[in-house]
Structure 1
Amino acid sequence: MKIEEFIQRTEAFHRRLADLNQTAIALPWITSDMLPQAFKELSSNSRMLQLAAEELYVQNEELLRTRNLLEEQCDRYQNLFDFAPNAYLLTNTQGIIQEVNHLATTLFKVAKHYLIGKPLINFVPLEERRRFRNELSEVSRSDKSRELSISLQQRDGKLFHSALTVAAVRNQYDKPINLLWVLREIPEPEQREANNEIYFTENRFIYKHCKGETITLNPSEIFYVCQGLVKLNTFCETGEEVLTGLAAEKMVFGSSLTSLQTYQATALTDVELVSIDVGEIASPVLSHALLPKINQRLRQTESFLAISGRQRVQERLHHLLLFLKQEIGQPVSQGTRLNFRLTHEELASACCTTRVTITRLMGKLQQQGVIRFDSKKHIILQNLT
């Protein structure tokens, strides 16, 4: 019986009792003291029942409003869950999927109703399943979330790289009842590199410098080379220039990356640069993107050290040309051309020798057919191994 119907019947019953009471009072042969005590109590109880029904009605209306509010909030949080920017899955402690959002169904290329009730391990390649089971066991015993880098497979068998973060959901007795999974797809190495380059250049001002121009360095910033070649050098006490590095496209440089007191950057060609504030390196995304760039500069520095440590000048020049072939070489029909023109003075500073010596050795290599020059005086390496 609905509460509205119950209230209506209660009111009708109370009215009938009131009419009966009035009728009894109106009868001339019945005095008021002759009314049964039970009748009076019944009338009183009927009134109390009516008041209780009205109070119940008010409480019921309040409960309905509360339920509607909870349903609205539930729908709102369900939408937040469904349309979250990451893929979310809720499983029991055995890894059976109970809830998934839209992005999870997109990654697995499986409809939601198909995923519900399926073991998450079904989407793990066979060779990864033992490690996955161990992680599943560990997370139920741990109070902290765990991260796992693993390959997952879609319904059609296609693999994709992913990063999983999983945490146990516990009840009031600290017993794990569910596992919450956050799934992020990790792009292939080539795609990650492309994404990093966009991150360096997107929404940043581009600084342009002409060939031969000195680039002003600031300890609070790092430069990223969008286009061109930058020469990095220092100076000895005698004033002689020492080449310490070449920053080509997609490389970084800056005075904050060296401990040298004197450090200079010069545009060997027309260059385009963007500035990155050192404070931004605190960002995990940027620091992760910068790490391979800094590692690249470290390898280059070690190559220059190895070249300068060779005893004979001929060997230093030979290995410098091999290094430049790898760093800035471009295949052409005659061999490998160095994309940017380097003067004998710059080659001499890299080889820790004089310009005269480099000129003599370069002439000898040209006579031997090891190198040649194009119309723009770019070096072409022909038989250098």
Structure 2
Amino acid sequence: MNAAAFTQQIKAMSDRLSHLYQRINTSASQPSILLSSTLPELGIAFERLQRAAELLYQQNQQLVLANQTVQNERQRYQELLEFIPNACLLTDIDGRIQEANRMAVKLLNLQQPLLIGRSLIDFVTHETRQQFQTDLQQLQQRPWKQEWQVRLLPKQGVAFDVSVLVEVNRQEANQPLTLRWLLRHQSHNLVTTDKQPDSYINLSYPLQHYHKGETIPLNPQTIWQVCSGLVKLTTFSDRGQKVLVGLAGTSAPFGASLTALPLYEAIALSDTQLWSIPVSEYVSSVELRQRLLPQISQRLRQTELLLAVHGQARVLDRLNSLLQVLKREIGHPVRDGTRLSVRLTHEDLAIATCTTRVTITQLLKQLQQQKKLRIDSQHHLILKA
């Protein structure tokens, strides 16, 4: 019994009682007859009221229990959402954020109350926003999960690439469609894992920011360590030609004090954050040297791979070898191969293979025709398996 039906019963009983009272008042000469007929009716009315009250109480208890069950399920859902180690979002079909876990708050660098109601499009960089909006509009016609590569710019932060898994959540009829998002930060992992050790996160060293294409100054008294981003390290041959000697990604150290080359240049290949570590602390701190040693060793192994690339006689062989090194160092698996997480120009590839930009352009076209690679909408290379 619902509240409306119960109310109707109460009104009907109230009307009946009013009618009985009127009969009593107009028939005072026959009180015993009226009482004998009225009292049973009052008893029946009371029993009906009592039964209705019991039914209403039972329904109320069921509603309380159902509400508690919903709250428990909601709590379990929230705990599961927070347990996921990647950024998770729930948005409407236009990308407006409805729910976000802690990792999403951290990734987008905005507190949850301020995040709810914001459009995810606001966090996409301007150069990739149009493609993102196009993909978003086409989602309703694509019932399967979609995997995208997107470049995000968090609030008061540095732009970075993320791998996005998105799916349309088709609810019951007449319910608005929603989107489920899983965002994974594509750190340029040239060392071990994407996650920085706590010992690095809590370092008190100054954090410097450099934009893509900026030259990073090399001070003999400073060791740089990459917090995020990617840095190209080059030297110059006797003929003045640039030679690639390293790619410094997350946690990788570099600096004038870590090379014997007289000419050494560091250029940010993407928006980059660097820790500035004084050489004097590196020399005096055994713990710091132990922390940096694995990364320095990794840099040496990477340099050996690049030397092997330079040792190839044919330019095509050098390019293929370089692409395999890049696949290992900055590659991230996608549906149809491995995507290089940093956009490399033809000039970058020409420097790394000791050839000209025109030659690289011709060779890349050749590899595309052979279906060995393709270039996505953001101009990133995708190497086929």
Band of TM-score, shorter chain: 0.3 to 0.5
> Rg bigger for which structure?
1
Normalising by structure 1, report the TM-score: 0.48
Normalising by structure 2, report the TM-score: 0.48
